[in-house]
Amino acid sequence: MVSVTLKRRFKAFLLLIILFHSHSLLAEDGYRLWLRYKLIQDEELLKKYRQGIRSVITEGVSVTMQCARKELDLGIQGLLGIDISGEDTLVDGTIIIGTYGPNTMLSEILSPDETAPLGDEGFTILSKKLNDKKVIVISALHDIGVLYGTFHFLKLLQTQEDISNLNIESVPRIKIRMLNHWDNLDRTVERGYSGFSIWNWHQLPEYIDPRYIDYARANASIGINGASVTNVNANALALRTDYLYKVKALADVFRPYGIRVYLTARFSAPIELGKLGTSDPLDDEVQAWWRNKANEIYDLIPDFGGFLVKANSEGQPGPQNYDRTHAEGANMLAQAVAPHGGIVMWRAFVYSNEEPDDRHKQANNEFVPLDGKFDENILIQVKNGAIDFQPREPFHPLFGAMRKTQMMMEFQITQEYLGQGTHLVYLGPLFKEVLEADTYQEGPGSSVGKIVDGSLNNQNTTAIAGVANIGTDRNWTSHPFAQANWYAYGRLAWDYETSVA
């Protein structure tokens, strides 16, 4: 009798284990981020969506357009529980995705006025009629805009919005919207709390981790179009030829999603890699070395974005080692990448314990006298506050002080001073508060955002950066809520007037 009872208890215990592990296999692990295309549970809404989405017509065959179509099919299959990947007939409920141009299907539906404001990356989503059929049009002037529009449309379904009468136009305010990865070549991450670096330099370029593709998808879905993949405390090896082939492999993965790759440039690289006796930016051999290095990079990566530089700060080498100014150092690099359309992002995070002035003033002391002396393809990358990403501090005074030089924002998405990987912190309000702060540079209404987006001083090359909180942890950010900070940054980089609620 005892043995029978024990057997029953043992069987019950085994059943519990099986049920527990079965549930674990289906549990949400956070890997899919905000791209979870989960079946809509509202049966009435689900029926309405299924009636309104019955086929997809794709105008275009580029790799980016293929990515848009694949994402749309994936999203519809998950959210609506239907597979229309093989349906491309014009019926009521057809979605048409493509770029506007002469002699295309979209030229029969859209007017030039409806697409002219979209620029390089903007998109429009409209409810239209074609041959008496009700259709939804996702269109842009360029393929990447169609991809952005596709992600936006899927977000409408995820958030259960009405799609019966769509009239959406969206254009980014800032040209370059990037993540800065403080990732070292040994895969450690400075101020990283989410595992190791996702870049496996040992396996690149031969092996492409599928995670790189999902990284690109996630960034494209929120409008991020650039990534500097190496730490600002730079290692010159990242510019060595074998590493450039590894970077090329990443660039090839990111390109269909509209993401350009940037590298951090160690100022002493001509000495460490080129075996020169100096890195003086006014030295002819040094200038030639950087020109040749830029040519090598662009031969491999034609759409390489440019260099991010931390110089004469926290032990990093720079032009001041040779009694040269930040402008002289930055201009030398800028002239190397300028023929290829590249930019230089020169960080203004400079301070020294030996300086008698308050640390809050030191960047102003060094950079304001140089206003107007930087080449046009240089942006001064400025942290949101003058000290160092503090939980509360005023916006950096450089934003209001420099009128002739394009300033770009640097936010910190990773939580260096806000609980690292253990505290639940939402940074959206902090980012938005800084961008809306008034500098009074040209009187009331001269917000930091208007300086960053170039509208206040009529500047064309504009940028914003966020120090990434991403690592090899399965859910990317360790603390599950930290994903929201990555997402909020991307949305605000696209349009800082977006609600962060």
Q: Which residues are catalytic?
A: 314, 388, 416
- Report H helices in 85-177: 112-115, 143-158
Backbone phi and psi for residue 78, each to the nearest 5 degrees, phi listed first:
-75, -45
- Report H helices in 278-358: 284-300, 326-337
- Report H helices in 368-413: 398-401
Burial 177-202 (b: 16+ CB within 10 A, else e): bbbbbbbbbebebebbbbbbbbbbbe
Residue 310 three-state SS: coil
Structure tokens at 325: 């100014």
DSSP-assigned letter for residue 409: E
CA distance 216 to 230: 16
CA atoms within 13 A of residue 44's CA, in its CB half-sphere: 1
- For residues 273 and 240, the answer to whether their CB atoms sit within 8 Å is yes
CA distance 436 to 303: 32
CA distance 180 to 425: 20
Give me the residue label for tokens 């170039």: 454
The Cα-based distances of 181 to 47, 224, 425, 443 in angstroms read 43, 13, 20, 36
The Cα-based distances of 319 to 29, 205, 266 in angstroms read 47, 33, 11
CA distance 430 to 249: 35
Structure tokens at 501: 């609620």
CA distance 176 to 179: 10
**Bond prior to 205 in cis (omega within 30° of 0):** yes
Those residues whose C-beta lies under 8 Å from the C-beta of residue 69, and which sit 6 or more positions away, are 56, 58, 97
CA distance 242 to 206: 12
Measured distance between the N- and C-terminal CA atoms of the chain, rounded to whole angstroms: 62
- For residues 315 and 356, the answer to whether their CB atoms sit within 8 Å is no
